Every structure is written in structure tokens, then in C-alpha cells.
Amino acid sequence: MKFYNTLSRQKEEFVPLAPPCVGMYTCGPTVYNFAHIGNLRAFTFEDLLRRYLEYKGYDVQHVMNITDVEDKIIRTVRESGKTLREVTDFFTTEFFRDLDALNIKRAHVTPRATETIPDIIKLIEALIARKHAYVADDSSVYYSIQSFPEYGKLSHRKLDEQRAGARVKQDEYAKEQMADFALWKTWNEADGPVKWDSPWGPGRPGWHIECSAMSIKHLGASFDLHCGGEDLVFPHHEDEIAQSEAATGKPFVKYWLHNAHLLVEGKKMSKSAGNFFTLRDLLAKGWTGREIRYALLSCHYRDPLNFTFDGLQGARSALQRMDEFLLKLQETAALETSDELADLTSQFDAALDDDLNISAALGALFEFIREANKRMLDPLEATNVLATWRHFDAVLGFGIPVKSDVPVEVQGLVEERQAARKAKNFKQSDEIRDQLAKQGWVIEDTPKGPRAKRG
């Protein structure tokens, strides 16, 4: 199994530090707003990665932080007049609701930055003691990037000697601003009531040190996987490496995996362009979490994803095709494990082993559906296919449809129609059929009786 490692810029064989355990850290949300679909693409990719590792038998320990103190949150607190906790609790709950709607597995540990302040302070003290950080005139603490010669190794940038001693205080900054960055920010009036005591006076942590402290606390000084969107490579992850390795003297993360960005209808998503979507926006338009999951997941994580409504329609059709096949299997279910099925499993695994090649994995599944639909599967074969499909679905997370997916009232009408037909009351049975058609359901007569499906 190979993954593309941002650190080495090549696909590398995945060999965890202490198999079968895998330590995985994914940068969580900054809880000042609803997550948008660009954010959710990253969490969906990480979910595929984790599920596939579990499918391969690894024992994954997944940690995802909740960034609940950061520049944008402070601004929201100031502008809304609410407390920090009111703002962050609300958006944290909404975030988890989004993950559930997309069938994304929750991390085993989801630490909040504000609950990690003592660990953050200890880490900053270690950096000062090792001469990797210094206290500035205003009592803020900065990381000295010149003190860490490997600075830039993740984003593949060289330390710029010209900028020696330059400082940047905000949590987010551009590549051109590469400079000493803030670990601890001295309190000022704009921070309002948001502050904690520290050896350097009241203040709050910088964003980057939060992730170093939380990952080391829950996964140790060295662990296997760290993921996030490509926008986090610089400065966030570059700074995490500098902080963590300088403080512990050990290599921080073995494999760095980053997903590419997301466009909407070919354009950068922005509120002003009117193409900015949260999950709730799409659910309100009638798309399901499952369809959105498919649309986000079916594009390879390192390719830019062009999110379109045509694409969502395509996701809906693909899932319908999958569902029809699976329902048919369930009706047929009861050959020996066929060679074909073993082939399908090896194609599925080989595709995902290759840096999570999801298009090839889905392609193999749909090719199988096409071939299987051409002939009648016998009951034993259908049973075997279904059992295998359940393993695939542990990775894909689209779910296996069950008959009860049909609403009770629709099922009731199907049964009424069947009764009318048995009584040879064809006028009534046709009326019921038309009524169902108006609601978007068609009736398919199968050897096991009639079945409603979306028309």
C-alpha cells in the first residue's frame, strides 16, 4: 500500500512505526462558522483513508482537534457579543452533525485547544529552554525559524536569510510572510475576556502550537499520519513540524497527506460569487448526505474537485444503480465463491492501495454491476457478493439499501395494488400505480413480489 507523502513528494510504501497500530492526526475545524463543502472534502478524504486502513486490518487511533481559540474566533466573539464558549459550543455541535450526515466516522479523541492550555504552556517553555523561542518586548512569545535549519522542508521552501528576525503575529499568513511566528500572544483589548495566565503574563496561544501540543499529548512525539487540506501545508503544518521536532528532538510525523482544493462550478468558492455552500445549504436543496458524500469521495483526493450540480446528479444516479443492484442481490440471495468475486476484491484493494485511487475502485465495482446485471446471479452467488460488498461498504460508507428505505405509506400502496390485482380489480390497481408514479415511485414486479423503486 502506497501513499503520496508531501514531505518527500513521492509515493511511499506505507510502513507504520508500530504495526498494527497507526496514529493518525487530522486538523479539525476552527469553530466560528459552519463548515463549507471545501472543508468537508478534507474530512471525507480523511474518513476514506481511515476506513481503508481499518479494512486492511490496522488499529487506527484517530485524533482530531477542535480549534476553539484563534484569531477568527476572537473576532466573532467580539462582533457577536457572545462568550467564547457560546460561539464554539454551538459550531462544534453543528460540525459533528455535518459529519454524521456525511457518515464520517468520529475521531477517537477530539481535544479542544482551550482544554490543552497547560500542555501548550509546557511546550512553549521547552522551546524557550532549547533556544527555539524567545519572549518579545510586548511579552508575546515567538518561534525563531532561524533556529531550526530544516524549516521549510514540508512546503519545500528555503529559509530566506533576508527576513531574519521578521515577525508575524496573525495565525494565518502568506508564504511571502515567512517569519518568526507567535506561540503565545499577549492579551490586548481586542481580545476582550479571552485570556489565560502564563509565565509571560495573560494571553492566548497561537493556532500552530495548539496542534503540536494536542497531537503530541494524544499520539506521542512521533506518529504515522498527519492530514489536512493543501492550504494547511504552509504555514500551519510547516510550523507544527518546527515546533514539535525542536521541542522533542524526534521526527514528528512519518507520512503527510494533503487533499487538493475544491472549486464550485469551475470557480473558486466565495460568498460574493454566490457559489459558497455549507452542507445545510445543499441538504435544503433536496440532496442527501449520502449523495454529497459520493460527490466528495469519488474524485481522487489529490485532484482538484470541481463540485457541480451535474456532478451531484451523477452521484445520485450512481448510487441508484448501486442500490438497485444490491436490492436485486438481496432478493436472489442464497456457486462456490467465484473467481470473479476474488478478482473484484483484488481490483478494489489494488486501486485503493495505490494512494487511494477511488476512481479505479468505483470503476471496478460498476464494471462488476454491469456484468452481473447481464445474467441472473444464482442465490449462493448473490449471497457471496453481498457479503463481500459489506466489506467494501465499510470503506465507502454509502450504506447498503434495505427494503424499508421505501416509506411506509408507499409500501402500503404497493400492497393495496397487489391486493387489487389479486382481486382482478385492474382499474383500481392502475389508479394506485398512477398515484405512486406521481409521487416518483415505479413498481417493479419481481419473482418475490412487487417492489417500489424511485422512478
Residues near Zn ion (CB under 5 A): 27, 211
Could you tell me the smallest distance in angstroms from the CB atom of residue 342 to Zn ion? 41
> Inter-axis angle of helices 379-396 and 339-353, to 10 degrees?
10
Residue closer to Zn ion by CB (options 212, 429) is: 212
Strand partners, 185: 204
Distance of CA 142 to the CA centre of its chain: 32
Residue closer to Zn ion by CB (options 66, 194) is: 66
Could you tell me the smallest distance in angstroms from the CB atom of residue 27 to Zn ion? 3
Could you tell me the smallest distance in angstroms from the CB atom of residue 237 to Zn ion? 7
DSSP string, 394-408: HHH------GGGS-H
Residue closer to Zn ion by CB (options 210, 355) is: 210
**Would you give the DSSP letter of residue 105?**
P
Residue closer to Zn ion by CB (options 211, 299) is: 211
Residue identified by cell 463481500 is 388
Residue closer to Zn ion by CB (options 35, 282) is: 35
State phi, psi for 123 to the nearest 5 degrees. Answer: -65, -40
State phi, psi for 11 to the nearest 5 degrees. Answer: -75, 130
Residue closer to Zn ion by CB (options 242, 264) is: 242
Closest CA to 291 of 7, 90, 129, 101: 101
Could you tell me the smallest distance in angstroms from the CB atom of residue 110 to Zn ion? 13
Residue closer to Zn ion by CB (options 27, 358) is: 27
Closest CA to 236 of 258, 263, 267: 258
Could you tell me the smallest distance in angstroms from the CB atom of residue 236 to Zn ion? 6
Could you tell me the smallest distance in angstroms from the CB atom of residue 32 to Zn ion? 15
Strand partners, 4: 11
Residue closer to Zn ion by CB (options 27, 269) is: 27
Could you tell me the smallest distance in angstroms from the CB atom of residue 70 to Zn ion? 10
Could you tell me the smallest distance in angstroms from the CB atom of residue 407 to Zn ion? 43
- State the number of CA atoms in the 13 A half-sphere of 315 facing the CB: 20
Closest CA to 262 of 325, 311, 334, 320: 311
Could you tell me the smallest distance in angstroms from the CB atom of residue 16 to Zn ion? 21
DSSP string, 193-254: T--B--TT-SEEE-HHHHHHHHHHHHH-SSEEEEEEEGGGIIIIIHHHHHHHHHHHSS--EE
Residue closer to Zn ion by CB (options 37, 211) is: 211
CA separation for the pair 24, 42 (Å, rounded): 14
State phi, psi for 97 to the nearest 5 degrees. Answer: -65, -40
Under a CB-based contact definition with an 8 Å cutoff, are residues 51 and 297 in contact?
Answer: no
